[in-house]
Amino acid sequence: MKRILQYILRIFSKIILRKYKPEIVAITGSVGKTSAKEAIYQVLGKYFRVRSNKRNYNNEIGVPLTILGIEGGGGSFLLWAKVFLKAIRIIISGRDYPEILVLEMGVDRPGDMAYLTGFVPVDAAVITAIGEFPTHLEFFPEKDELIGEKSILAKSVVKEGLVVLNYDDISVRMMADGLPEGIKTITYGFGEGASIQISNYNFYLSDLDKGDYGATFKLEYEGSIVPFRVEKMIGKQQVFAVAAAAGVGMGFGLNLVEISNAFKKMFNLPGRTNLIKGIKKSWVIDDTYNASPLATIAALGILEEIYLTADKPAARKIAVLGDMLELGKDMEVAHRQVGQKAAGVASLIFTVGGRARFIADEAIKSGFNKENVFEFDEPSAAALKLQEELKPEDIVLIKGSRSIHMEKAVKEIMAEPGKADELLVKNGF
C-alpha cells in the first residue's frame, strides 16, 4: 500500500508544483534541520505567503502531503480517498497557494534524497550539520556515503539557485566544492571564513521564574553588522538556525535588519531545548525530541551555560541521558564521547537504556564519582529516582533518541503535569 500511496502522492505533487510554481526551500542535515526549518519559516513568513512541514512530515509521504497542504490518512483507505479528493480540488481551484514552500527533507536510507529531489524542484538548499557521528549510520556502511546522500540536495538546486551551508561543519562546508556553475553559495557560522559571520554570542538570564531569558549576538554579511536580541533562545544551536534563515532570507531579497525584526522572540517546539518548571523549584531543559552525539554534547553545553548564568550557588547540574540510536558501528565510541563531556559538566548523571550505559561507564573512567551515577532501563524508572534526588534550584537536562521516549521522565518531574499535552513532544511528532 505504501508504494501505491507514494506513487499517487508524487503525481499530485508534480501537478500542483507545475501549476502554482512556488519557490521551494529544502533543508537537510543530521542535526538542526527542524530548528532551521522553523527559523526560515519565521523569517519568510513575515514577508511572504509560506507553508512548511508540520509534525514529522519530512519523508516520501510527508513531503508530498506538505506540498498538498493535507493531513495523511493513516491506515484508513477511506481517509486516503478523502485526501486524494482534496488534492484534486486543490489542483482545480487552489486559491492562495503559498508563494514559498519550506520543506525539511529527511534521509534514513540510501536513495531517499534522490527520490525527493526527483519530483521537487529546489530553489534554495540548506545543509545544517552532520557531525563526527551522525545518526542513520546504521543504514549507511560509511559516513561518506551518508554525506554523499545529503549532498544530493545541494547539487539538485535549480540553475542560479541558492545553497546555504554550515561553515563550521567541515563535511557540510566541503559540499560547496563541485556545485554546478551559477549556483550562489552562502555559508554561515562562527568561523572567520563564513559568509555570514556570527559573533558576540551571549546568553542572558534576567529572571528565570518570569521567563526573562534569551540570547544576543551579531550577524555580519558583506560589511553589514546587525545585532540580534531573541527572547527564549537557548544555546548556540539555535543561533545557527537563525543564521541559516538569514542566508535564505537574503536570497529572497531581505536585508539583515528585516531578518532581525522577524526574531524578536524564538519559536518554541516541544522537546527542543525548552525550559520547563520542575518539582521542588527545579528547572528542566526538555530536549527530548531526538538525540545524536553532536546534539547531546551541545545540550550539555547548554546545561552548563544556564547553570553559570543563573548564579544560584545551591543549584546542581543533572544530566539524564537516554540511548542514541542509528549510530551503526560507531555506537559505543559515540556514547563514550558523550560520557566524557557529561563527566566534565554534570553533578549527577542518569542514563536510560543499554547503549547509554557506555555514557555512565566512560564518565566513571573519566574520574566522575560512581556514587553520583544512576543507570536505568526505562525513563519512568529514572524519573522516580530523580524525584527523590531533586533539590531546589537544580537544573536538569533530559535528552535521548525519539523512540526512547525520554519525555516520560520530563512529565514525571514537571511542576505542572497538566500542561504535558501542550509542552511535551508527542508520538508522531
Count other Cβ atoms within 10 Å, centred on residue 82: 14
This prediction has a pTM of 0.93
Residue 420 to residue 412: CA distance in whole angstroms? 10
Give the residue, 48 or 95, on which the prediction is more confident.
48
Residue with the three cell numbers 527542524: 34
CA 144 from centroid of its chain's CA atoms: 21
As a whole number of angstroms, the longest Cα–Cα distance in the chain is 67
pLDDT band at 429 (very low <50, low <70, confident <90, very high): very low
For the chain, which residues make up each domain, given as ranges? 2-261, 274-423
Residue 117 to residue 121: CA distance in whole angstroms? 6
What is the rounded average pLDDT for all residues in the chain? 94
Q: What is the CA radius of gyration of the chain?
A: 22
CB 30 within 8 A of CB 134: yes
- Which residues share a beta bridge with 26? 103, 125
pLDDT band at 289 (very low <50, low <70, confident <90, very high): very high
Mean pLDDT value across residues 310-315? 72
* Homologous superfamily in CATH for domain 2-261: Mur-like, catalytic domain (3.40.1190.10)
Q: Rounding to the nearest 10 degrees, give the CA dihedral for residues 16, 21, 57, 293.
A: 150
Does residue 327 have a pLDDT over 90?
Answer: yes
What's the pLDDT score for residue 427? 59
Q: What is the pLDDT of residues 60-91, one digit of tens each?
A: 999 999 999 998 888 788 898 999 999 999 99
Q: What is the pLDDT of residues 3-23, one digit of tens each?
A: 889 999 999 999 999 999 999
Give the residue, 135 or 171, on which the prediction is more confident.
171
Burial of 333 (0-12, 13-18, 19+ CB in 10 A): middle
The strand pair at 283-287 and 274-277 is best described as antiparallel
CB 187 within 8 A of CB 167: yes
pLDDT band at 211 (very low <50, low <70, confident <90, very high): confident
CB 270 within 8 A of CB 425: yes
Which residue type, as a one-letter code, is found at position 154?
A
Query: Cβ contacts of residue 275 below 8 Å, gap of 6+?
Result: 208, 211, 213, 234, 283, 284, 285, 286, 306
Strands (E), 134-256: 162-166, 184-189, 196-207, 212-221, 224-231
Tell which CATH architecture fits domain 274-423. Alpha-Beta Complex (3.90)
Q: What is the pLDDT of residues 150-192, one digit of tens each?
A: 999 999 999 999 999 999 999 999 999 989 889 999 999 999 9
Mark 3-38 as b/e (b = at least 16 C-beta within 10 Å): eebeeebbebbbebbeeeebbbbbbbbbbbbbbbbb
Helix H or strand E encompassing 100: strand 100-104
In the numeric block, which cell numbers belong to residue 42? 519565521
Which residue type, as a one-letter code, is found at position 141?
P
What's the pLDDT score for residue 428? 43
Residue 386 to residue 380: CA distance in whole angstroms? 10
CB 276 within 8 A of CB 270: no
The sign of the torsion formed by the CA atoms of 112, 293, 288, 203 equals negative
Vertex 278 angle, CA 272 and 282, to 5°: 110
Mark 211-230 as b/e (b = at least 16 C-beta within 10 Å): eebbbebebbbeeeebebeb
Helix H or strand E encompassing 322: strand 317-322
